[in-house]
Structure 1
Amino acid sequence: MIPDDVVTLLVRHQVKQGQEQQYEAWLRRIVGIAKGYPGHLGIDVVRDRKDGLHLFTSILRFASTAQLQTWLDSTERRQLIEEVSPLLADGDQLEINPEREFWFTPAPADMPQPPRWKQACVTFLVILPLALLVPLLWQPLFKVAPWLGGYVPSNVVITASIVLLVVYLFMPPVTRFFAGWLNQR
């Protein structure tokens, strides 16, 4: 396993035709239970399609490998996986990933990432409005604190603001919105 640092668990479930509503109800339950485990830092669920079936990729983050292992070894998780198994087309697919964040759907090894030009288009659509708006929002502070409005300090503040907004606020929902187009084959 990887060293004790934030660790990401990818869980892929391909759901049998007609079982999507039951799976969604089960997913809400397991997400609520996982949130109560020590070290749980958050979860995102990416919905997609593969081979005509719904594919759910859950991205769980834990503060350490040991805390992730506690969740994986828990009786609660084991019972929930047994319960959902009849709804799954290819079982419970797990992958531990050292990456903390994903902008684009973390693809299984047999699924290619979206083409780079599509990733670039979505990234451009997110960053351009921020690059136009964020500097304007900082202008009042730069007038009050002229030393912060200098070339280097202002660029550091503006760039840091844009990066944080892109990574934590805008890119996750935008990539979910464009998921169909990004993953179109």
Structure 2
Amino acid sequence: MHTTKSDPVTMVVTAHPAPGNQKEWEETLTNTIQASLKFPGHLGTTVLKQESTRKPTYQIVLRFDQLENLERWKNSPEREHWISKLHALEHCPPAITHNTGLETWFELTHHDEQQPVEPPPKYKIAVIVWIAVYASVIPVINLIRPHMTELHFLISSAITTSITVPLMTWVMIPLLSWLLKGWLYPENRKT
């Protein structure tokens, strides 16, 4: 995928705190996230924790509005300070990937391996996004349409999309990705 400097970018870090260091590692991660929030273009951080009998796995998803702002954070002395503290508490070096576009919604899977997992084929992404859009838009339109009959079409459309886009992004896509992970990642079911 061709990326321009103005495209939003996502950095996904898969990390494994060393046994006995988990609480201190989590506290250090919280401080790292707090430091990153002060940087321009930071769009949010999500931390997913998967308990494992072998080792706990954390996936940290950082989103920035453009590559330049992510690079500013990555090259900052603040990040270097906190990352060195995290690395001292980790079982092994973290796996890091950078992505743009819709495939970042499907990058996170529930596996213990450190190797990055390939995103699903584009046709599977299209099917999941279509289901998410359909399941988000139809109920919202039917619920709020009676309350917006007096509003101009552009205003009512803006209200509708301001509800459906977050619903699709943070509820429907993650839920569908989890429910259909066997179909999205069939090769990983064998491992």
TM-score, structure 1 as length reference: 0.67
Q: Is the contact made by 1:134 and 1:158 (CA closer than 8 Å) also made in structure 2? A: no
CA deviation digits over 1:67-88, x for unaligned, max 9?
2112111122112122121321
SS in 2 for 1:15: coil
Deviation at 1:4, TM superposition (A): 0.6
SS in 2 for 1:61: strand
- Flag the 1:93–1:51 CA change in 2: closer, same or farther, 3 A: farther
Partner of 1:30: 32
Using the alignment, how far apart are the partners of 1:158 and 1:40 within structure 2? 25
- Flag the 1:129–1:96 CA change in 2: closer, same or farther, 3 A: closer
Between 1:102-111 and 1:63-72, the stretch displaced more is: 102-111
CA deviation digits over 1:78-133, x for unaligned, max 9?
1212212132122132211123674445246554779x7xx96xx96996586345
1:141 equivalent in alignment to 2:148: yes
- Deviating above 3 A after TM superposition, structure 1's stretches of 4 or more consecutive aligned residues are 100-105, 107-114, 123-134, 156-163, 171-176, 181-185
Query: Which structure's CA Rg is the greater one?
Result: 1
State the percentage of identical aligned residues. 21
Q: Which of residues 84, 88, 91 in structure 2 aligns to 1:89? A: 91
Where do 5+ consecutive residues of structure 1 fail to align?
none
SS in 2 for 1:53: coil
Q: Is the contact made by 2:14 and 2:94 (CA closer than 8 Å) also made in structure 1? A: yes
Deviation at 1:20, TM superposition (A): 1.8
Partner of 2:63: 61
Between 1:88-97 and 1:20-29, the stretch displaced more is: 88-97
TM-score, structure 2 as length reference: 0.66
Aligned residues: 175
Deviation at 1:135, TM superposition (A): 0.8
Partner of 2:5: 4
- Flag the 1:78–1:124 CA change in 2: closer, same or farther, 3 A: same
RMSD between superposed Cα atoms in Å: 4.2
Using the alignment, how far apart are the partners of 2:168 and 2:65 within structure 1? 19
